Amino acid sequence: MSYTYAVPKRKANRLAFRFLGTIFFLISVLQFFTLLWGYSKHPMLTMVFMMVLGVYGLYLIWGSLRKTAFDVTYRFDEEGLTVTHHYGVSKYSFDDIKFVTMVLADEAGIFYILNVRTKKDVYVIPFTMKGKLCETIYEFVNSRIKHEDDSDDTDEKVQEMIEKYNEKKGGFEE
């Protein structure tokens, strides 16, 4: 049994992020030259502005080149997770998957998100109008990954933390 889900991405979005990142970076370079030639009235403020704008521009460009910025196909089968992306194929066994979570992003149940964390990468898979498929894939993967030993109960830890806080501060209602 296997499940395949494709997430298409628009080329226009990648180009817009690259264009905007390039503009921010070029403004940062221009600010550097005005600072270098002494035309800046507030050199320290200009330097901070230049650094923030330049780093953010590079971040936008770098983000438009990541694996999940392109069309991605996820295949969940008995061997594990296979991610086919622009740069090739990444294969993960169920031992490599640390955890998987499912998020219901709205109350109407239209938009679901599946978070899959591997040893190297984090994949955020959006499901629009496909809630049953998301739930099925979540159950399929969650039943096959290794779970941490739940020997210590989290409710007991929370109660213990509340008691410690009440002793120190003298307040904190449950």
- Judge whether residue 75 has pLDDT over 80: yes
Residues 77, 130, single domain; the answer is yes
Q: What SS3 class is residue 89?
A: strand
Instruction: Look at 32-36, 41-45, 105-109, 157-161 and tell me which has the smallest mean pLDDT.
Output: 157-161
Task: Return the H-helix or E-strand segment holding 25.
Answer: helix 11-36
Cα–Cα dist 59/23, whole Å? 12
User: Which pLDDT belongs to residue 107?
Assistant: 79
Q: What is the pTM of this model?
A: 0.72
What is the rounded average pLDDT of the residues 78-102?
Answer: 92
pLDDT on residue 40: 80
The answer to whether residues 83 and 113 belong to one domain is: yes
Structurally, the chain folds into a number of domains equal to: 2
pLDDT tens figures, 122-161: 999 999 888 899 999 999 998 988 877 555 556 677 777 7
Give burial (CB, 10 Å; 0-12/13-18/19+) of 6: exposed
DSSP string over 102-128:
EEE-STTS-EEEEEEEESS-EEEEEEE
* CB contact set of 121 (below 8 Å; sequence gap of 6+): 67, 90
Residue numbers of the domain that contains 92: 70-142
> What integer pLDDT is reported at residue 44 of this predicted model?
92
Contact 145, 100 (CB under 8 A): yes
